[in-house]
Amino acid sequence: MSILGAAHACGTKAHAVVRASLCLSLVCAMSACASAPRRSDRNPSDAPAQVAAPDAFFAAIRAHCGKAYAGIVRADTPPPANSPFADRPLVMHVRECGDDEIRIPFHVGEDRSRTWVLTRTASGLRLKHDHRHHDGSPDAVTQYGGDAASTGTAVRQEFPVDSESVENFLANGLKASIRNTWAIEIERDRRFVYELSRPDGRLFRVEFDLDRPVPAPPAPWGGGSSAD
């Protein structure tokens, strides 16, 4: 074979090797692309677990179980003629904490008739107000509140009045309350806020300082062995 022929043969073989190498690389790349799942095809269970807002909210309040905090009224508009909250010490007590229910007595001076009841439901959270007389018997206006209208956030949950509460309010001459919306806010180591609002401009907000616990108050009326 001539030198020119030998060179041509070698060049042909070299080109064949290069083509084979390129083909192999292309096949490998395509195989890798095919085996890598697209973002939309990935199993949701592979993603980091996210805590639902209602659960995070509930847990944030439950973290204060057993503690009591002093509060101050931040808004009370329009100002009532004889506010039961004026010039009285206000104390909330995260007194009872179950897996699905938290009971928070709200003491207004010596009046221990009020307890906020936060409950888990299949769809989120529910807020009710348990009102008792000094002897522990239920008030005529009690167990009112509502379910959270949405998932809310880990900091704030809103509870529009439910139909059962509307019936109770109307039966007891409290027509203004049939458009109530209650809200609770919790910033774990900063503040707890209870709020009542209405479309007509009524707004009541009381804020509790979570950075300064106070001595736990006596049991709420109907919540202990005695009603002293």
Give the chain as a 3 state SS string.
CCHHHHHHHHHHHHHHHHHHHHHHHHHHHHHHHHHCCCHHHCCHHHCCCCCCHHHHHHHHHHCCCCCEEEEEEEEEECCCCCCCCCCCCEEEECCEECCCEEEEEEEECCEEEEEEEEEECCCCEEEEEEEECCCCCECCCCCEEEECCCCCCCCEEEEECCHHHHHHHHHCCCHHHHHCEEEEEEECCCEEEEEEECCCCCEEEEEEEEEEEECCCCCCCCCCCCCC
Looking up tokens 């509060």 gives 71
pLDDT tens, position by position, 49-98: 567 999 999 999 999 999 999 999 999 999 988 899 988 999 999 999 99
Q: Give the residue-averaged pLDDT of 151-160.
A: 97
The Cα 46–Cα 194 span in angstroms is 38
Which of 22-31, 159-168, 198-207 shows the lowest per-residue confidence on average (mean pLDDT)? Answer: 22-31
Question: What percent of the chain is predicted at pLDDT more than 90?
Answer: 70
Residue among 99, 126, 138, 155 nearest 222 (CA): 138
* pLDDT value of position 49: 53
Residue 193 pLDDT greater than 50, yes or no: yes
One-letter identity of residue 53: A
Q: Give the residue-averaged pLDDT of 184-197.
A: 96
Looking up tokens 């996210």 gives 50
Looking up tokens 């096949």 gives 27
Q: What is the mean pLDDT of the chain?
A: 84
Q: Give the residue-averaged pLDDT of 142-162.
A: 97
- pTM, whole model, 2 decimals? 0.78
pLDDT tens, position by position, 2-23: 443 444 444 444 444 434 443 4
Question: What percent of the chain is predicted at pLDDT more than 70?
Answer: 76
